[in-house]
Amino acid sequence: MRRAFLVLLVLVLLGAAGFWALTSPGTYDLVRGQNLALTANRAPDLANGRELFYAGGCTSCHAVPGQDDKTRLGGGYALKSPFGTFHVPNISPNKSDGIGAWTPAQFVRAMREGVTPDGQHLYPAFPYTSYQRMKPDDVADMFAFIMTLPAVEGRAKPHELPFPYNIRRGVGLWKLAFLNGKVFESDPAKSASLNRGDYLTNGPGHCAECHSPRNLAGAIVADRRFSGGPDPEGRGTVPNITPDASGIGGWTVDDLTNLLKTGETPNYDTVGGPMGDVVRNTAQLTDEDRAAMAEYLLSLPKRPAYKAP
C-alpha cells in the first residue's frame, strides 16, 4: 500500500517535472526559437515601422475602446474566444503600465515567440502565430514607431479563462505543437510584389487568423487556410478569401486593393464589424502594399468556403 503510494507520488512528481520542463520558454527557445538577432547598430526606420504597425492591425485589439484616437494603445478591450475572455493589455509607451520600459529585443521576443520580458508565455489570442513570420529588424522598427505614440496610463483587468486555460504555463505545450518559429523567406521564383504580399498577408496582416477554420486546440487547419471560418469572437462566419467561386473568385486585383483602402466590395457593399477595423488599418498603407496583398490573395489555391456545422 505504502509502496504503491510512493510509486504514485514519484510518477506524479516526474509528470509535474516533465510538464515544467516541456513548458519552459527556454525549452521552446531550444527547440524552435531562432533568428531573433537584430542587426547591430541599426537606426530604426520609422516609416517602415509605421507601415508594418498598420499592416499588423494592432489598434483593432489594443486601442482603448470607445476612443476616437486609435493610436492610444492603452488596452482594455474584452476579446472573446472559445477559451474564455481576454482583457487586452496596454502596449502604449507608458513605462509602468505599458511597454515603454521594454528593449527592442524583448519586444521582438514577445512578437515572434510569445514570451514576455519576465519569461512568461503569452496566449496565442495575441496572433504571434502570424507575427512570428516577421523579420526581427522589421519588428524592431515597429517597436520604434509604437514608442512615438501617446503613453497611456492604466492596466487591463486579468483575463477570465476557465481551467485549464488559465494555466499560462500550459501555453508552452501548445507552442511546441503549433508554433514553428519560422521567419518568412521569400521565394526567388516569384515576383517581388508577390513575395511582399505573402509577407504582409501571412506576417503582420494575420489575415488567416480570422479567415480560416481551426482545430479543437484552436490552431488553423493548414490546408483550409483562407477558406473562411467561424468568427473568433463568435459573431457568425468569416468569408472565404481564396479565388474560388465561393470566395473572391470574380474579383480583380483592383477590386481587392480598393476594398483594403475603402472597405467597398465590387458589388457596392461595405465590409463592417471586425473587417471594418482591419480596413481602418490597411487604409493607412501605401497603394503598392495593398496591391501586393491583393495580388497574393488572388494567387492562392482555390478552396471551397468553410460552412458552419
Residue that has been written with the C-alpha cell 490552431 in this structure: 219
Indicate if the alpha-carbon torsion angle 75, 79, 85, 91 is positive or negative: negative
Gap between the Cα atoms of 228 and 247, Å rounded = 9
Q: Assign 160 to helix, strand or coil.
A: strand
Size of the site for ligand HEC (CB under 6 A): 43
Gap between the Cα atoms of 151 and 69, Å rounded = 12
Minimum CB separation from ligand HEC for residue 297, in Å? 6
- Judged by CB under 6 A, which stretch of 63-71, 217-225, 275-283, 298-306 contacts ligand HEC? 275-283
- Judged by CB under 6 A, which stretch of 1-9, 16-24, 32-40, 208-216 contacts ligand HEC? 208-216
Minimum CB separation from ligand HEC for residue 286, in Å? 14
CB atoms within 10 A of CB 7: 10
Q: Assign 229 to helix, strand or coil.
A: strand
Minimum CB separation from ligand HEC for residue 25, in Å? 12
Q: Could you say whether residue 293 binds ligand HEC (CB under 6 A)?
A: yes
C-beta of 152 vs 248, nearer to ligand HEC: 248
CB 155 within 8 A of CB 96: no
Q: What is the DSSP letter of 69?
A: -
Q: Is 206 left (phi over 0), alpha (psi -120 to 50) or beta?
A: left
Site for ligand HEC in 56-85 (CB under 6 A): 56-58, 60-62, 79
> Which cell is 151 given?
503613453
Q: Which of 210, 253, 291, 305 binds ligand HEC (CB under 6 A)?
A: 210
| Vertex 246: Cα angle to 242 and 251 (nearest 5) | 60
C-beta of 58 vs 253, nearer to ligand HEC: 58
Gap between the Cα atoms of 278 and 260, Å rounded = 8
Q: Could you say whether residue 136 binds ligand HEC (CB under 6 A)?
A: no
Q: Could you say whether residue 161 binds ligand HEC (CB under 6 A)?
A: no
Minimum CB separation from ligand HEC for residue 12, in Å? 28
C-beta of 15 vs 249, nearer to ligand HEC: 249
C-beta of 10 vs 182, nearer to ligand HEC: 182
Gap between the Cα atoms of 289 and 54, Å rounded = 11
C-beta of 11 vs 149, nearer to ligand HEC: 149
Q: Could you say whether residue 285 binds ligand HEC (CB under 6 A)?
A: no
Q: Could you say whether residue 220 binds ligand HEC (CB under 6 A)?
A: no
Residue 4 burial by Cβ neighbours in a 10 Å radius (0-12, 13-18, 19+): exposed
Positions in the binding site for ligand HEC (CB under 6 A)? 56-58, 60-62, 79, 86, 88-89, 91, 99, 110, 116, 122-123, 125-127, 204-207, 209-211, 231, 238-239, 241, 248, 256, 259, 265, 271-275, 278, 282, 293, 297
